[in-house]
Amino acid sequence: MAPPLELSRRRFLTGAAALAGTAFLASCAGLPGGSNARTLQFWHLLSGADGVTMSGLLDGVNAAQSDYRVRPTVLAWGEPYYTKLAMAAAGGRAPDVSIMHASRVVGYAPGGLLDTWDTGRLADLGVDSSTFTDAIWRKGFIGDDLYSVALDAHPFILMYNTEICDAAGVLDSDGKLKPVTSPEEFLEMARAVAAVSESHGLSYGYLGDGAQMWRLFYTLYTQHGLEMGLPQGGPAEIDEDAALASLGFMQQLLDDEIASRSADYQSAIAEFATGRSGLFLTGVWELRSMQQQDLPIDATIIPTLFGTPSVYADSHSFTLPHQSVPDETTRDLVYRFVADILKGSFDWAEAGHIPAYLPVTQSAAYADLLPQANYAEAAELVRYDPPAWFTGSGSRFQADFGAAVQNVLLRGADPAEAITRFRARIDQQLRTPNPADPEGAGA
Asked if residue 9 has pLDDT above 80, the reply is no
Confidence of residue 3 (pLDDT cuts 50, 70, 90): very low
**Cα–Cα distance for residue pair 225/242, rounded to 1 Å:** 9
SS3 string, 27-67, reads CCCCCCCCCCCEEEEEEECCCHHHHHHHHHHHHHHHHHCCC
**Cα–Cα distance for residue pair 82/107, rounded to 1 Å:** 10
pLDDT in tens, 192-205: 999 999 999 999 99
User: Are residues 167 and 193 in contact, defined by beta-carbon separation less than 8 angstroms?
Assistant: no
pLDDT in tens, 86-100: 889 888 889 999 999
On the CB side of 356, CA atoms within 13 Å amount to 30
Mean pLDDT along residues 48-77: 94
Least confident piece of the model among 79-83, 220-224, 280-284: 79-83
- At CA 157, angle to CA 127 and CA 163, rounded to 5? 130
**Cα–Cα distance for residue pair 54/281, rounded to 1 Å:** 25
Helix (H, G, I), strand (E, B) or coil at 280: strand
Mean pLDDT along residues 234-253: 98
Asked if residue 6 has pLDDT above 70, the reply is no
The confidence score (pLDDT) of residue 79 equals 83
Asked if residue 29 has pLDDT above 60, the reply is no
pLDDT in tens, 296-343: 999 999 999 999 999 999 999 999 999 989 999 999 999 999 999 999
Domains of the chain are 9-153+314-376 (3.40.190.10), 155-313+387-430 (3.40.190.10)
Residues 6+ away with beta carbon under 8 Å from 15: none
Helix (H, G, I), strand (E, B) or coil at 236: coil
User: Are residues 70 and 99 in contact, defined by beta-carbon separation less than 8 angstroms?
Assistant: no
Mean pLDDT along residues 270-274: 97
Confidence of residue 435 (pLDDT cuts 50, 70, 90): confident
Mean pLDDT along residues 398-411: 97
Mean pLDDT along residues 414-424: 97
The confidence score (pLDDT) of residue 39 equals 97
pLDDT in tens, 101-112: 999 999 988 778
The confidence score (pLDDT) of residue 77 equals 85
The confidence score (pLDDT) of residue 78 equals 83
pLDDT in tens, 146-155: 999 999 999 9
Which residues sit opposite 72 in a β-bridge?
A: 42
Asked if residue 31 has pLDDT above 50, the reply is no
Predicted TM-score of the model (pTM): 0.90
End-to-end Cα, the chain, rounded Å: 21
Label residue 248 exposed, middle or buried (CB < 10 Å: 0-12, 13-18, 19+): middle
**Cα–Cα distance for residue pair 430/62, rounded to 1 Å:** 44
Asked if residue 7 has pLDDT above 60, the reply is no
**Cα–Cα distance for residue pair 61/370, rounded to 1 Å:** 25
Give the helix ranges, DSSP H, for 210-275. 210-222, 240-253, 265-273
Asked if residue 440 has pLDDT above 80, the reply is no
The confidence score (pLDDT) of residue 436 equals 74
Instruction: Spell out where 207-347 has E strands.
Output: 277-283, 297-301, 311-314, 316-321
Mean per-residue pLDDT of the chain: 91
Asked if residue 270 has pLDDT above 60, the reply is yes
Helix (H, G, I), strand (E, B) or coil at 408: helix
The confidence score (pLDDT) of residue 438 equals 60
**Cα–Cα distance for residue pair 63/183, rounded to 1 Å:** 50
